[in-house]
């Protein structure tokens, strides 16, 4: 009798534990997601923690939840966390686990996209630069050298995020492997199977994995594998039947399960020089969302919250277009956290949905920004000479990768053993070079215009400030930077006398604010690569923007923070976002590294930059 009672209580205990088990799955017959054995749908928003200042993570997450969404979708860029090989960073602004926990605290589920390739208009598509040092490695393939590196990273990352899985008490529902792999010509199924198997080995084969591909037969064919749920992506469409066409393609490969648009585009990224305003209107966004909803689909708005590619994290697409520093994306929540008409319309639309328990909260507020006025910045004489450090002599110029200097700039010094110079041609330049002879700026070259006529006789020194403008993020290639294969010609001759010199914004900051007095340019125009220094004195700290009228192209460093690139002559972006966390009460040190010059100012009449409340764009609207 006692044994029966004991067995009964054991059974009840087991049943109680089983009934409390957290589980997320797919019912392929009923065409639904299941959350704890109940039908589930999501309206998600894409957000990039790596593009948002740490102090505003919670603000953006609150706004997403306040909008009525119940999930976020988020990439994890490998190169952000392992910039240096075997040196992993998951602290402070790199603490992705804290970001996921914060999302859970705000009532948001997570659809996680760890790559290892992410695209996202992010430098090198999220792949570490050091992978490209091995020119024989085949990226995004089953090449054993590539897989060995992925395996190491995967073991670190998956064990980090494992406690945040829904089944473990966290909020991660699904994990995407790779990203739009069907758009890549490799079509290597063994690689995708490796990612699937490695993920399941660490996390368990009950974790739902998914892929995302463009809504075309060819892309889904190469991007889908057995055991991984395929989803599609598409933006605004003109009619309901087009939505069904896209979902019919998904159904062809999913063999059941729910309909999912993993990237519903509320806007698009902007490239330097792309000044045509070409974003979907709010009505079209709501119409397409309505059609997807009526088909019982789940979807993720890309982007729900815009951001900023600070430092040198912007990508380059395969047509050579360089992505702007701002990744505002015309998102419902803008780069600076402001909400507007699109956000309000989405919020209103969700509030009217039947049987949607994650109702909007209507509590989102914009963040205060400040206009601090203009300040004077003064140009430094012989800036380039002062910036070069750790120069390495070689018979040929070192690439960024060979120098282990992944981002920003290298300075090359070359001796031609000649007493005259008429022509310079550097077809091996990646991406741009600014040429200085005898401390005089003589012109620029780049990948599409690599020749320059000069006229020098006697003794002369040549310096080439070489800019890495961002590695290709779409499809990915071995996008090596610097002067490649010694393809540099001086009057049609190569040189065997080179120095390659290291330069970072940290070097700039150390030199010009921590090493005493500088010599300023007097009564001369600012031409070519030049450092300009200034100080912003403030009594209250708020977000702001900096605009640089008259300046051409360069980067801005504030209190040691590289806030990104400007390129005014190309547009459309004409200002850079400065979050409050980059500023302090009192004096703030401002460094501008101008590459081409500002002929409208000098030390006599002054060079000025402006700290303004709102962003500036010079769009050409039709």
**What confidence category does residue 385 fall into, taking pLDDT thresholds of 50, 70 and 90?**
confident
Selected residue with higher pLDDT from 2 and 218:
218
Give the phi and the psi of residue 244 in degrees, each rounded to 5. -65, -35
**What confidence category does residue 388 fall into, taking pLDDT thresholds of 50, 70 and 90?**
confident
Burial of 359 (0-12, 13-18, 19+ CB in 10 A): exposed
Q: Tell me the C-alpha distance between 96 and 50, whole Å.
A: 9
For the chain, domain boundaries = 22-351, 373-380+507-612, 396-496
57-66, 364-373, 433-442, 595-604: range with lowest mean pLDDT: 595-604
**Residue in 67, 60, 50 with CA at minimum distance from that of residue 103:** 60
Packing angle of the helix pair 96-105, 144-161 (nearest 10 deg): 40
Mean pLDDT of 124-134: 95
Q: Tell me the C-alpha distance between 282 and 95, whole Å.
A: 34
pLDDT digits (tens, 9 = 90+) for 246-303: 999 999 999 999 999 999 999 999 999 999 998 999 999 999 999 999 999 999 999 9
Number of H helices, E strands in the chain: 12, 34
Using the predicted structure, report yes or no on whether residue 371 has a pLDDT greater than 60.
yes
45-49, 378-382, 508-512: range with lowest mean pLDDT: 508-512
Mean pLDDT of 585-611: 90
Q: Tell me the C-alpha distance between 517 and 151, whole Å.
A: 50
Using the predicted structure, report yes or no on whether residue 518 has a pLDDT greater than 80.
no
Question: How much is the pLDDT for 510?
Answer: 74
Give the list of residues 6+ apart from residue 604 with CB closer than 8 angstroms, or none: 522, 523
Question: How much is the pLDDT for 514?
Answer: 59
Q: Tell me the C-alpha distance between 584 and 542, whole Å.
A: 9
Mark out the alpha helices in 481-544 (DSSP H runs). 505-514
- Per the prediction, the chain carries an average pLDDT of 93
**Residue in 402, 384, 383 with CA at minimum distance from that of residue 392:** 402
Please, what sign has the CA dihedral across residues 137, 141, 143, 148? positive
Nearest 10 degrees: CA dihedral of 281, 231, 260, 41? Answer: -130
Q: Are 553 and 594 in contact (CB under 8 A)?
A: yes
Q: Are 335 and 63 in contact (CB under 8 A)?
A: no
Using the predicted structure, report yes or no on whether residue 607 has a pLDDT greater than 70.
yes
User: Is 467 designated active site?
Assistant: no
Pairing between β-strand 208-214 and β-strand 451-457 as defined by DSSP bridges: unpaired
Q: How is residue 179 written in tokens?
A: 């990203």
Reduce the DSSP state of residue 121 to 3 states and report it. coil
| Fold classification of 373-380+507-612 (topology level) | Jelly Rolls (2.60.120)
**What confidence category does residue 519 fall into, taking pLDDT thresholds of 50, 70 and 90?**
low
Nearest 10 degrees: CA dihedral of 348, 352, 356, 358? Answer: 30
Instruction: Name the active-site residue from 123, 263, 311, 596.
Output: 263
The residues that bridge with 489 in the sheet, in sequence order, are 425
Q: Tell me the C-alpha distance between 34 and 300, whole Å.
A: 18
pLDDT digits (tens, 9 = 90+) for 546-557: 999 999 999 999
Q: Tell me the C-alpha distance between 531 and 512, whole Å.
A: 9
CA 271 vs CA 140, 141, 322, 447: distances in Å: 25, 28, 5, 17
Same CATH topology for 22-351 and 373-380+507-612: the answer is no
Using the predicted structure, report yes or no on whether residue 11 has a pLDDT greater than 70.
no
What proportion of the chain, given as a percentage, has pLDDT over 70? 94
**What confidence category does residue 222 fall into, taking pLDDT thresholds of 50, 70 and 90?**
very high
User: How many residues appear in the chain?
Assistant: 622
**What confidence category does residue 516 fall into, taking pLDDT thresholds of 50, 70 and 90?**
low
Q: How is residue 227 written in tokens?
A: 């055991």
Domain 22-351 grouped into CATH 3.20.20.80:
yes
Q: Are 469 and 432 in contact (CB under 8 A)?
A: yes
Pairing between β-strand 43-46 and β-strand 298-302 as defined by DSSP bridges: parallel
Using the predicted structure, report yes or no on whether residue 21 has a pLDDT greater than 60.
yes
Instruction: Name the active-site residue from 180, 335, 467, 596.
Output: 180
Selected residue with higher pLDDT from 517 and 374:
374
Question: By 3-state DSSP, what share of the chain in percent is helix, strand and coil, each rounded to 5?
Answer: 25, 30, 40
As its CATH architecture, domain 396-496 has Sandwich (2.60)
Question: How much is the pLDDT for 319?
Answer: 83
Selected residue with higher pLDDT from 478 and 221:
221
N-to-C CA span, the chain: 86
Question: How much is the pLDDT for 90?
Answer: 99
Q: Tell me the C-alpha distance between 499 and 502, whole Å.
A: 10
User: Is 121 designated active site?
Assistant: no
pLDDT digits (tens, 9 = 90+) for 39-86: 999 999 999 999 999 999 999 999 999 999 999 999 999 999 999 999
Running DSSP on this structure, what letter comes out for residue 606?
A: -
CA 292 vs CA 109, 264, 540: distances in Å: 20, 10, 46
């Amino acid at each position: 009798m006692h044994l029966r009672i004991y067995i009964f209580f054991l059974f009840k205990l087991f049943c109680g534990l089983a009934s409390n088990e957290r589980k997320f799955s797919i019912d392929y017959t009923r065409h639904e997601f299941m959350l704890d054995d109940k039908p589930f749908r999501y309206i998600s928003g894409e957000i990039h923690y790596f593009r948002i200042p740490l102090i505003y993570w919670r603000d953006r997450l609150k706004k997403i939840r306040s909008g009525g969404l119940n999930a976020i979708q988020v990439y994890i860029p490998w190169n952000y966390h392992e910039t240096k090989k075997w040196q992993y960073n998951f602290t402070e602004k790199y603490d992705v686990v804290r970001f996921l926990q914060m999302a859970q605290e705000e009532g948001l589920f997570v659809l996680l996209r760890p790559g290892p390739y992410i695209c996202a208009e992010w430098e090198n598509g999220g792949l570490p630069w050091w992978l490209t040092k091995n020119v024989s490695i085949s990226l995004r393939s089953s090449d054993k050298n590539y897989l060995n590196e992925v395996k190491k990273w995967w073991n670190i990352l998956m064990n980090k995020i494992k406690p945040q899985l829904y089944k473990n008490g966290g909020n991660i529902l699904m994990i995407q492997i790779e990203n739009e792999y069907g758009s890549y010509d490799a079509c290597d199924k063994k690689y995708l199977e490796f990612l699937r198997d490695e993920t399941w080995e660490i996390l368990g084969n009950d974790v739902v994995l998914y892929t995302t591909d463009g809504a075309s037969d060819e892309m889904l064919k190469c991007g889908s594998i057995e055991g991984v749920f395929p989803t599609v992506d598409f933006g605004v469409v003109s009619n309901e039947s087009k939505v069904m066409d896209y979902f019919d393609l998904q159904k062809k490969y999913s063999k059941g399960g729910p309909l999912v648009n993993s990237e519903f585009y509320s806007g698009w990224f902007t490239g330097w020089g792309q000044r045509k305003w070409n974003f979907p209107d709010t009505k079209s966004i709501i119409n397409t969302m309505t059609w997807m909803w009526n088909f019982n689909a789940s979807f993720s708005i890309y982007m729900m919250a815009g951001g900023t590619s600070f430092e040198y994290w912007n990508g380059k697409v395969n047509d050579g277009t360089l992505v702007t520093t701002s990744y505002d994306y015309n998102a419902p929540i803008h780069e600076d956290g402001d909400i507007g008409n699109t956000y309000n319309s989405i919020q209103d639309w969700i509030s009217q949905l039947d049987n949607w328990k994650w109702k909007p909260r209507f509590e989102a507020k914009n963040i205060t920004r400040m206009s601090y006025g203009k300040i004077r910045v003064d140009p430094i004489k012989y800036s380039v000479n002062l910036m070069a450090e750790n120069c390495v002599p070689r018979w040929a110029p070192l690439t960024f990768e060979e120098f282990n200097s992944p981002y920003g700039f290298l300075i090359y010094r070359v001796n031609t053993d000649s007493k005259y110079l008429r022509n310079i041609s550097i077809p091996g330049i990646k991406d741009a070079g600014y040429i200085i002879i005898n401390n005089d700026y003589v012109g620029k070259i780049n990948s599409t215009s690599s020749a320059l006529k000069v006229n020098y006789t006697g003794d002369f020194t040549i310096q080439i400030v070489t800019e890495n403008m961002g590695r290709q993020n779409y499809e990915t290639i071995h996008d090596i930077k610097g002067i490649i294969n010694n393809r540099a010609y001086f009057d049609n001759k190569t040189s065997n006398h080179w120095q390659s010199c290291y330069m970072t914004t940290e070097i700039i900051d150390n030199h010009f604010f921590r090493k005493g007095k500088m010599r300023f340019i007097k009564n001369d125009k600012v031409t070519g690569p030049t450092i300009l220094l200034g100080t912003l004195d403030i009594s209250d700290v708020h977000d702001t923007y900096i605009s640089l009228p008259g300046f051409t192209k360069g980067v801005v460093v504030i209190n040691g923070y590289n806030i990104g690139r400007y390129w005014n002559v190309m547009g459309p972006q004409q200002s850079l976002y400065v979050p409050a966390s980059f500023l302090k009460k009192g004096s703030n040190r401002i460094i501008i590294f101008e590459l081409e010059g500002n002929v409208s100012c000098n030390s006599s009449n002054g060079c000025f930059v402006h700290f303004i409340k709102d962003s500036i764009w010079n769009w050409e609207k039709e």
